[in-house]
Amino acid sequence: MKAVCWHGANDVRVETVPDPKILNPRDAIVKITSTAICGSDLHLYDGYIPTMEKGDILGHEFMGEVVELGSAVKNIKIGDRVVIPFTISCGNCFFCNRDLWSLCDNSNPNAWIAEKLMGHSPSGLFGYSHMLGGYAGGQAEYARVPFADVGLFKVPDGLEDDQVLFLTDIFPTGYMAAENCDIEPGDTVAVWGCGPVGQFAIRSAYLLGAEQVIAIDRIPERLKMAEEYGKAKVLNYTEVDVGEALKEMTGGRGPDACIDAVGMEAHGTDFMGLFDQVKQTVRLETDRPTALREAIVACRKGGNVSIPGVYGGFIDKVPMGAAMNKALTMKTGQTHVHKYLKPLLEHIQKGDIDPSFVITHQLPLEQAPQGYEIFKHKQDNCIKVVLKP
């Protein structure tokens, strides 16, 4: 089959690789019909995430048709159209039983590597390095889905791929980010980053009852989408002092909740060089105000800081003093997609939201290398790229 393979920083190639096979009774093989490039893929493309190997298949936002099933999968049929959470979860462990699916204890055989490198043992993810399980990703014609009995969600008839594809990641991610803000009536929520995740965080903050959402970015088209589709007030951080502007817009108090939907991009640091020598202690220094720092400082006393943005290692200069003395609540994490998928599917079915609004580019799988470049550099007004195998 054809698949998008990682070959180093800024180097992805479409190659012919062996088809995936059923390895365990709870596996399924899915023929992929749509697959997207995520801001998280850019961390791999930028070379920020260690334990990638040349030839690794990328992609964790994908859907398609079930073509083969392991003997233990009884709740799904061959031919079913399915979406697949990007986090791999067993459905039976301490964490899965508490709806903390992205913290599954049984889906990452290489958790010890992450533990050693980063001090944590996350669940497995599709297409996201060996320390996160070494699973082949879904930017390909086929993928193997482990724990398919809990990891495949049947798509109801009448919904297009574009409407449900983002249930795999960015819609639940934006939603969990907003839910982590514990929004109360009248609240103002500020969202750093108007990429796909930020766009869904904005929409979700309103779905959860926010009075006002303020969105921050530097890319005009992304700010425009936040304003027009998201009904957010917008700030271009290259033009205004974000902290001052937020104060002014909130009667001097600061937003009730702040969402960092940026992650590592804001650091502008050479992670590649650092992670080449991952065994050394990694210290990241930068004088640029990062989204996260700005969010902590801007948030009102007693407010909530929600961090869907991905961080891969250690970061310095997080203003812990401000967080502590303002009694902030901070919540973060890879998204518990399995928990949110069905309720968010209902929102789509009811017409509360059509997630396809973020798609600006549809390309054949063969053009994935161009897709990565366009998405990384926000060329051609790009917000989200969907690849069609």
**Binding-site ranges for Zn ion (CB under 5 A):** 38, 40, 169
According to DSSP H, which parts of the chain are helical?
A: 39-45, 94-97, 111-118, 148-151, 161-164, 170-179, 196-207, 220-228, 242-249, 271-276, 291-298, 320-325, 337-350, 368-376
Shortest Cβ 94–Zn ion spacing (Å):
25
Compute how many residues bind ligand NAD; rule: CB under 6 A.
33
List 20, 50, 124, 196, residue binding ligand NAD (CB under 6 A): 196
What is the token pair recorded at 17? 């690789």
Shortest Cβ 58–ligand NAD spacing (Å):
13
Residue 309 found at the interface with ligand NAD (CB under 6 A): yes
Residue 104 binds which of Zn ion, ligand NAD, none (CB < 5-8 A, kind-dependent):
none
Shortest Cβ 312–Zn ion spacing (Å):
14
Residue 339 binds which of ligand NAD, Zn ion, none (CB < 5-8 A, kind-dependent):
none
Closer CB to ligand NAD, 66 or 207, in the complex: 207
What is the pattern of x (binds ligand NAD, CB under 6 A) and - over residues 160-179? ---------xx--x------
Instruction: Evaluate whether 147 touches 90 at the Cβ level (below 8 Å).
Output: yes
Residue 45 found at the interface with ligand NAD (CB under 6 A): no
Instruction: Evaluate whether 30 touches 155 at the Cβ level (below 8 Å).
Output: no
Closer CB to ligand NAD, 29 or 382, in the complex: 382
Residue 291 found at the interface with ligand NAD (CB under 6 A): yes
DSSP notation for 283-349: -----SPPHHHHHHHHSPTT-EEEE-S---S------HHHHHHTT-EEEE-S--HHHHHHHHHHHHH
Residue 317 found at the interface with ligand NAD (CB under 6 A): no
Cα–Cα distance between 68 and 9 in angstroms, integer? 34
List 122, 127, 146, 195, residue binding ligand NAD (CB under 6 A): 195
Residue 137 binds which of Zn ion, ligand NAD, none (CB < 5-8 A, kind-dependent):
none
Shortest Cβ 114–Zn ion spacing (Å):
18
Residue 222 binds which of ligand NAD, Zn ion, none (CB < 5-8 A, kind-dependent):
ligand NAD
- The CA-atom distances, in angstroms, between 212 and each of 36, 94, 219 are 30, 37, 21
Burial 39-53 (b: 16+ CB within 10 A, else e): bbbbbbbbbbbbbbe
Tracing tokens 């533990």 back to the chain, one arrives at 115
Does residue 160 sit in helix, strand or coil? coil
Phi-psi region of 182 (alpha: psi -120 to 50; beta: other; left: phi over 0): left
Residue 151 found at the interface with ligand NAD (CB under 6 A): no
Closer CB to ligand NAD, 218 or 388, in the complex: 218
Shortest Cβ 117–Zn ion spacing (Å):
21
Residue 339 found at the interface with ligand NAD (CB under 6 A): no
Binding site for ligand NAD (CB under 6 A): 38-40, 42-43, 169-170, 173, 192-198, 216-219, 222, 237, 261-266, 291, 308-310, 334-335
